[in-house]
């Protein structure tokens, strides 16, 4: 059975987002502040390093009952015992991921705009949630598409009943309009990974998200 | 059941090794010249691109009964229906690969020297062959270790009964000493991918290998 998941405050983290910081300790602090779901993303990591980091995060997250998703790497998710994968438009197709993972893993899919949504239509039956964005311009992900704003988010939101997490350049102050536009939650990287106090940053963001509901 | 495989002339290919050339056409020519096994290696490719290239190569290779191995990516090997994976020292451990792949896929493992062999001892029960090298210095693989020469090759050869393919900077003239030192075959990248006529290059190399036996 697939794990329960809560998109409210979705942290995307990995060594590149946490230079000079400890990956597990940083994510633990964020989870103690209220992060509800974690994705590990480190596209340039060697496979063995990524497996080890994923395993370490999964071990830490287990008692918190916070699921761990691996960006792109189906093989790493299986090897490390993670809870799912998050696929970009250039990654494996969702049908392939579902075939390899079976029914017990979560699958998320990035959709940049209504055109990408249309292109992904046949994937939708195999995914558990969508990541929609970038909402704002972001320096974190070099290959992200054009910022779509809350207006662009609302256009994708109108096309599907799947749970959606908004992503891309989001930080304090962004939650209310996105939650009102139908986002189940917000995904962040630097708003938490770049914060001096990731626990406090997560706490503040989750409070904003819950207040907007 | 695992596919039969013949390490005699093992081609490692991918878009990076074939700039401006067609991947499938180049590999087809090499196979028509005598290549007995193909590995696709493209560590910087997007996953979907790598799946598509692997699938295209597999479709081409099938009638030739030449197996296709994917470098590092267990998930891609499964998604694209390839015949196995080749693991480096920084990739997933062989026990993890075997767990994910089951018994029908080939698993190869790179071993750079007797010390790496010792480090890999627990992996040996799960692999079908070893790739040992670099024999000579090579510009193809930026993270390759120090060249070990035929002498270093012989030291690893003495430690195991597993089939071994020698790799690293090999080209015309290198086959005889390595085959005499117990190599089941030679793996090459640029000696075939960089040749004006990959079919003729493969033909010449296979002839040298067979003559040395």
ipTM surpasses cut 0.85: yes
Separation between Cα atoms, residue B92 and residue A80, nearest integer Å: 10
**Nearest CA of chain A to the CA of B141: how many Å?**
15
Q: Report residue B158: phi and psi, to 5°.
A: -70, -15
Q: Which CATH architecture has domain B9-212?
A: Alpha-Beta Barrel (3.20)
Establish whether B189 is an annotated binding residue: yes
Please spell the DSSP secondary structure of A169-190, one letter per residue. Answer: S--TT-HHHHHHTT-SEEEESH
- CB-count exposure of residue A56 (10 Å: 0-12, 13-18, 19+): middle
Report pLDDT for A141.
74
Asked if the Cβ–Cβ distance from A93 to B48 is below 8 Å, we say yes
Taking an 8 Å cut-off on Cβ atoms, the answer to whether A78 and B91 are in contact is no
Please judge whether A96 and B51 are an interchain contact, meaning their C-beta atoms are less than 8 angstroms apart. yes
Query: Which range has the worst mean pLDDT, A124-128, A145-149, B36-40?
Result: A145-149
**pLDDT: is A142 or B38 the higher one?**
B38
Does residue A173 have a known ligand-binding role? no
Average pLDDT value for chain B: 96
pTM of the model: 0.92
Note the helical H segments in B62-173: 74-80, 94-101, 114-119, 149-157
Question: Per-domain residue ranges for chain B?
Answer: 9-212
List residues in chain A touching B: CB distance below 8 A: 46-49, 51, 72-76, 78-79, 89-93, 96, 99-100
Contact B47 A90 (CB under 8 A): yes
pLDDT, tens only, B125-181? 999 999 999 999 987 777 778 999 999 999 999 999 999 999 999 999 999 999 999
């Amino acid at each position: 059975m697939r794990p329960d998941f809560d998109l409210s405050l979705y942290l995307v983290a990995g060594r590149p987002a946490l230079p000079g910081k400890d990956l597990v300790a940083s994510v633990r602090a964020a989870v103690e502040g209220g992060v509800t779901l974690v994705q590990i993303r480190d596209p340039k990591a060697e496979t063995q390093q990524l497996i080890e980091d994923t395993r370490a995060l999964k071990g830490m997250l287990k008692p918190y009952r916070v699921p761990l998703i691996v960006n792109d790497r189906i093989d790493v998710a299986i090897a490390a015992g993670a809870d799912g994968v998050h696929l970009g438009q250039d990654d494996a197709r969702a049908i392939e991921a579902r075939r390899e993972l079976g029914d017990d893993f979560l699958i998320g899919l990035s959709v940049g705009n209504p055109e990408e949504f249309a292109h992904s239509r046949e994937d939708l039956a195999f995914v558990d949630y969508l990541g929609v964005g970038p909402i704002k311009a972001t320096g974190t992900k070099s290959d992200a598409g054009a910022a779509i704003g809350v207006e662009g988010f609302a256009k994708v939101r109108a096309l599907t009943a799947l749970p959606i997490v908004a992503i891309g350049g989001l930080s304090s102050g962004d939650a209310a309009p996105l939650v009102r536009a139908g986002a189940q939650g917000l995904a962040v990287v630097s708003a938490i990974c770049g914060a001096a106090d990731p626990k406090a940053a997560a706490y503040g963001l989750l409070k904003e998200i819950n207040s907007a509901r």
